[in-house]
Amino acid sequence: MDSAALSHILFNTFNWHPARIESFAQATLSLIMCGSVTLKHIAQGFQTGAKVSSVVRNLQRFLKDQVIDFEIFGAMIRDFMGLHGKVYVALDRTNWDFGIFHINFLFITVVYGKVSIPIVWILLDKDGNSNTQERIDLMRRFLKIISVDQIMAVLGDREFIGTEWFLFMENLKIPYIMRVKHNTLMRHKNGGMVTAKLIFAHLSINEFLQIDTKIWGIKVQVTCLKMSTGELLILAATRNIRLDVLEAYRDRWPIERTFLCLKSKGFDFEKTHLKNNEKLAKLMAVAVFALAISVKAGKILNEETPIKIKNHGRRVYSLFTYGIDWLKSLLLNKCRKTEIQLYARILEVILPVRNAPRPSKYISNAGD
């Protein structure tokens, strides 16, 4: 397997110099092979005759100088993964420290089975939660790629609450299911405002209650489950949402698996030594493309040879692990005839994206 297929996708997506397209494709495949975003490790996997030090300098120039239109990139990921129907959308944040430097990513992803596929992201210039305007700006970017009509619900934890944020989603008719805090004030059926904890204090373990109420003056549907730990899971959702709210909220958890794939269980993003937010955002694009390819390969493999199910009903491993392990074997030239045939199937998936017309504003002028 070489970088030709990926280069075709990128060529029909971006108006970059061919050398930059080849660098991005090579970096993606190398990341799948080596499992580390450190530039030295990525450079070691390049299928060229260049010295590792030269490839590292090439990658540094790419991250410094190459402009990536992340809206176009997100649309490429959408098309590659076939995300054109109804979807759950998960909003979450992952952060870590590199010395005194804080790396803090905010993502909006599309749930894809047991993993989430990042579509847009931003780096926050702080080590804490995102603010409302940052979330709104990122969601506006997301809606240019995935339409409101496609969204079954936006899922988020207790960080993603507030009057302005809820009003933004209400005004754009974006369905949502957000976990809220125990001390959130809600209108009681007898009038007046009391905390959510008091309203649902009478619930027994594993019992739930759903009510229509107001939070911050906004009409919402609130569902509360008293979990086996005794903790209250309180979810505020769009009024009259046609979903099992508790069941739907479970689809928020795949984004945590995505973070593991990008970090300790996959590409070791926490090991990067980059400190520039612009460069980090571009490096994340490489990791997201590698993630998407691995998950897609795992899905195709699972259709051919289903992953074994353990006694407790869970798969032995995820689509991501299934796909990336097979791709590593293929990239290291340990493939058999049947695996080459599977690779041909993956190329069939790539072809519609590869042959899609490049957006007119990204077509080079003759003579460029």
Q: What is the pLDDT of residue 345?
A: 63
Where a domain ends, among 202, 235, 268? 235
Task: Examine the domain organization and report whether 358 and 282 are in the same domain.
Answer: yes
How far does Cα 115 stand from its chain's mean position?
8
Strand order in the sheet with 151-156: 115-123, 101-112, 87-98, 151-156, 176-179, 232-238, 218-226, 208-215
Rounded mean pLDDT of 19-47? 93
Based on the fold, state whether residues 292 and 343 are members of the same structural domain. yes
pLDDT range class, residue 348, cuts 50, 70, 90: low
Average pLDDT, the chain: 88
Q: Is residue 183 part of a domain?
A: yes
312-326, pLDDT tens digit by residue?
767 788 899 999 998
- Is residue 285 domain-shared with residue 352, that is, in the same domain? yes
Share of the chain above pLDDT 70, in %: 89
Same domain for 280 and 353, yes or no, is yes
User: Would you say residue 358 has pLDDT above 80?
Assistant: no
In the prediction, which pLDDT does 334 show? 56
| Residue 352 belongs to a domain | yes
Judgement on whether residues 283 and 345 belong to the same structural domain of the protein: yes
Between 266 and 330, the higher pLDDT residue: 266
Considering the domain boundaries, does residue 26 fall inside one? yes
Please tell me the predicted confidence (pLDDT) of residue 361. Answer: 40
- pLDDT on residue 336: 57
Residue 349 belongs to a domain = yes
User: Backbone phi, then psi, for 229, in 5-degree steps?
Assistant: -80, -10
Q: What are the φ/ψ torsions at residue 48 (nearest 5 degrees)?
A: -135, 170
pLDDT at 351 over 70: no
pTM for the model stands at 0.89
Range in 67-81, 201-215, 290-304, 349-363 the model is least confident about: 349-363
Assess whether pLDDT exceeds 80 at residue 9: yes
Question: Which pLDDT value is given to residue 14?
Answer: 92
| Structural domain for 50, as ranges | 4-67+276-362
How many domains would you assign to the chain? 2
Q: Is residue 108 part of a domain?
A: no
- Residue 191 included in any domain: yes
pLDDT in tens, 107-160: 999 999 899 999 999 999 888 889 999 999 999 999 999 999 999 999 999 999
Separation CA 75–CA 54 (nearest Å): 32
The answer to whether 301 and 325 are in contact (CB under 8 A) is no
Say yes or no to pLDDT of 68 above 50. yes
Choose the final residue of a domain: 219, 235, 251. 235
Q: 39 lies in a domain? A: yes
Kindly state whether residues 300 and 225 are assigned to the same domain.
no
Residue 307 falls inside a structural domain: yes
Confidence category of residue 106, pLDDT binned at 50, 70, 90: very high
Which residue, 186, 205, 235, sits at the end of a domain?
Answer: 235
